[in-house]
Chains A and B, each alone.
Chain A
Amino acid sequence: SQKIEQNSEALNIQEGKTATLTCNYTNYSPAYLQWYRQDPGRGPVFLLLIRENEKEKRKERLKVTFDTTLKQSLFHITASQPADSATYLCALSSTGSYKLIFGSGTRLLVRP
């Protein structure tokens, strides 16, 4: 069956370090993959989109990689700050489909 897996355990890191979050998928052939941030009591907010033919995408302190061979995306936040503490969700969509399927998210805690 189709699965999107993100670490269910919270990632706890020190301010200034790089946070790396993982998104693995099985039985999908995604055309693109997106990352969202969700704060408590709020809806998810879009961060980055990466297509299947792209290996890496950057935006300010954020970097996303997409490895279709490993069926994995990595999401990096460099020089992390306490304000980066939130839940991060990956989502993917197959070719020609509008349906965006989400993982369960990983909670990031950045200690001052």
Chain B
Amino acid sequence: GAGVSQSPSNKVTEKGKDVELRCDPISGHTALYWYRQSLGQGLEFLIYFQGNSAPDKSGLPSDRFSAERTGGSVSTLTIQRTQQEDSAVYLCASSLPGTAKKLFFGSGTQLSVL
């Protein structure tokens, strides 16, 4: 596709359930980021993938959060045993490899935990 695609666009779940959020980056972009944005707040870094290198997981808030990137393309962010404080917009971005590269963002997944 022409841009970064995220699905679903909205997800409502019950506390304690697991959720999976998907990100399909721009073709050829080997770098992929996940961020979280709470209402009225800035973007909180979660995890970064670059090619076949080990991901930078330093932003994951707890061990309930995990992410994988299969085949260097599509990425899935999984939140286990969701809590109400996990409610936020989860944004995925991709870029060309290297530093000083601009990020291309998807429209995000709005997660609501009831």
Contact = CB atoms under 8 A, between A and B. Distances in A.
Chain A complexes with chain B: yes
Interface in A66-97: 89, 91, 93, 96-97
Classify chain B: how many residues form its interface, as a range: 20 to 34
Given A97-B99, A99-B48, A43 B4 contact: yes
B3 to A, nearest CB: 9
B107 A42 contact: yes
Contacts, number: 60
Interface stretch (B35-43, B63-71, B76-84): B35-43
Interface of A: 4, 6, 31-32, 34, 36, 41-46, 49, 51, 89, 91, 93, 96-105
17 contacts: A6-B42, A32-B99, A41-B107, A42-B107, A43-B108, A49-B102, A89-B42, A89-B43, A93-B100, A98-B56, A99-B56, A100-B45, A101-B45, A102-B43, A103-B42, A104-B42, A105-B42
